[in-house]
Amino acid sequence: MFHKFELMKIALAQINTIIGAISHNREKIVDFSRKAVEKGADIVIFPELALCGYPPTDQIYFDLLESELKILVEQTANLPITIIVGSITEQKKGKPFNSLIVIREGKILHRYHKVLLPDYDVFDENRYFTAGVPQHPVEINGIKVGFTICEDIWIMDPDLKPIYDVNPLEPLKNADVVVNISGSPFSIGHPARRLNVITETARFTNSVVAYVNHVGAQTDLIFDGRSCVVYPDGTIEALAPAFQEALVVAEIKQSGTFPPFVGEPWIEDIHSALVVGIRDFFSKKGLKKAYVGLSGGIDSSVVCSLAVEALGSENVVGVLMPSQFTSNESIEDAEQLAKNLGIETYTIPITEPYERIVKTLQENVWDDKPFDVTEENIQARIRMIYLHALSNKLGGVILNTSNKSELATGYGTLYGDMAGALSVLGDVYKTWVYRLARVINQQHGNIIPERVMTKPPSAELRPNQTDQDTLPPYDILDTVLIRYIEMHEPASRIAEATGINIETVKSIINMVNRNEYKRYQAPPILRVTSKAFGIGRRMPIVGLFETTLK
């Protein structure tokens, strides 16, 4: 088997597609196929649903995809290479298949249809597709090639194995090569878990696995690529880089390994993912300029730094919007950050409009009521008005700076600091934001002022406020949140496992539950954990949560 394979060069085409931009994606497929020919490859492999982009969403109901596929076949007819590409095909039983297509010089040689359709977390594939049936390997250029699409090999994952009845790998034992085309989004820990699945697939089938993943961001979902070729003994042959497009030609003697997943490199992975997430959101929407409200706090400092990395300092504008509650330190820190980043800033005080609104309410509704959350929210919402006025008048969009701990507990103002086109840190817990700041400073030379990382966090919406007036200490808070949100543990189990007081645990869970309504209206959130807020987590707005509090 290896002998034959040595005679063959397989190109892994790890591309960044745009959902629904079929012409654009097709041009890219033709372009990468041509480059693969130039590199002497016999086969070039593209990701799952590369033609329409992944995930295709409800656009699938406007089905013209067989005819679009036909154009691709025609456009590559003159290229002496076998092309393996993902596409939607054939309406069967009211729903199409999620297919792998083998194309060679103007002909479709073979079709394989995805067998295992995932429905957990962010996936909705039974909504869109009819399941295929397992197939035996097919001979291509004298080599026995088995086909699989993404989830088909996750039957090798111990957590997922029990939910499926069929093992699509069963007929693929002792193939020469097993191809897997994927749309496998990044989350921390996922690359290691995925590599394990690929390795187990190679072992189970006793075949070389050629794995090709998407790269780049699709609004909230960020694909890390990391396409690879893996041998049955676990040797990693050819590894495409993370978070960037690549055309990697697999050669047998070349070797490589995944970067080790030890220590804290997951923070660096989050860093890369968020930069890609911002960059692709802007580039795919044809946007240039980003506004970030700079409070002098850690969240806005980190978002602004990431935005500069993704978009360039010339495309990021910092907006300082001080009130009577803003400390001089906060203004200094925000200004220092902007100076370090080399970005333009505006300073627009909110005090006068704030006082005018409070006075109008007093004149027309209540005479004299004590300061409370009402006045805090008014401040946050005036800042939202300023930011969006800049966006409307001067172009560009607002980056949201809420972190996951705030979103979880509802510690933020809906239509205020919760507003924006894209939430950069909405899947990053507060304690992680600090780590991210350190990584940014290590890589870019202390951009974020030291004081930002050491002073107590505060929303500065009333005198001497700190986050810990309202919330438990962030290390306790995040410990509970991770177990509740990502591991679905009820209160008693969390208290038992962590030693944190059960009443504290319940009060945190109650905060999460009570604030579903706020998160429902939050911006799309860049996903970096296994359970981000958004489409992957579905909880009622109206309802009780009895079982979560047991």
Q: Name the residues annotated as catalytic.
A: 48, 114, 150
- In this structure, are strands 208-212 and 228-230 parallel, antiparallel, or unpaired? antiparallel
Contact with its own copies (CB under 8 A): which of 133, 163, 166, 497?
Answer: 163
The verdict on 365 binding its own copies (CB under 8 A) reads yes
Residues from 318 through 357 that contact its own copies (CB under 8 A):
346-349, 352-353, 356-357
Please write down the HEC assignment for all residues of 282-339: HHHHCCCCEEEECCCCHHHHHHHHHHHHHHCHHHEEEEECCCCCCCHHHHHHHHHHHH
Residue 398, sorted as left (phi over 0), alpha (psi -120 to 50) or beta, turns out to be beta
CB of 114 to its own copies, least distance (A): 14
Q: Which of residues 138 and 361 has its CB atom nearest to its own copies in the complex?
A: 361
Q: Scanning residues 210 to 229, which ones bind its own copies (CB under 8 A)? A: 217-219
* Residue 449, number of CB atoms within 10 A of its CB: 21
Q: Which is nearer to its own copies, 228 or 317 (CB)?
A: 317
Binding span for its own copies by CB under 8 A among 40-48, 139-147, 189-197, 415-423: 415-423
- Report the residue number, 64 or 497, with the smaller CB distance to its own copies: 64
- Binding its own copies (rule: CB under 8 A), the pick from 154, 281, 429, 533 is 281
Indicate which single residue of 284, 430, 483, 527 sits in contact with its own copies (rule: CB under 8 A).
284
Rule CB under 8 A: choose which of 34, 35, 39, 57 binds its own copies: 57
- By CB under 8 A, name the one of 115, 307, 378, 447 that touches its own copies: 378
Closest CA to 183 of 152, 223, 218, 124: 223
Residue from 6, 119, 139, 475 touching its own copies (CB under 8 A): that is: 119
Closest by CA to 485, choosing from 401, 426, 421, is 426
CB of 262 or CB of 542, closer to its own copies? 542
- Beta 95-104 vs 215-218: how paired, if at all? unpaired
- 120 scored as a contact of its own copies (CB under 8 A): yes
Please give the residues from 434 up to 463 whose contact with its own copies meets the rule CB under 8 A: none
Scan residues 5-34 and list those touching its own copies (CB under 8 A). Answer: 18-24
x/- site string to its own copies, residues 393 to 412, per CB under 8 A? xx------------------
For residues 181 and 46, the answer to whether their CB atoms sit within 8 Å is yes
3-state DSSP assignment of residue 149: strand
Binding to its own copies (CB under 8 A) within 183-212 occurs at none
Nearest residue to 85 (alpha-carbon basis) of 115, 45, 129: 45
Q: What is the DSSP string of 196-262?
A: HHHHHHHHHHTSEEEEE--EEEETTEEEEB--EEE-TTS-EEEEPPBTS-EEEEE-TT----PPP--
Binder among 11, 33, 53, 270 for its own copies (CB under 8 A): 53
- Of 104, 192, 96, the C-alpha closest to 140 is 104
Q: Does 143 bind its own copies (CB under 8 A)?
A: no
DSSP annotation of 445 = T
- Of 42, 280, 309, 333, the residue at the interface with its own copies (CB under 8 A) is 280
Q: Kindly state the tokens that stand for 518.
A: 């706020």
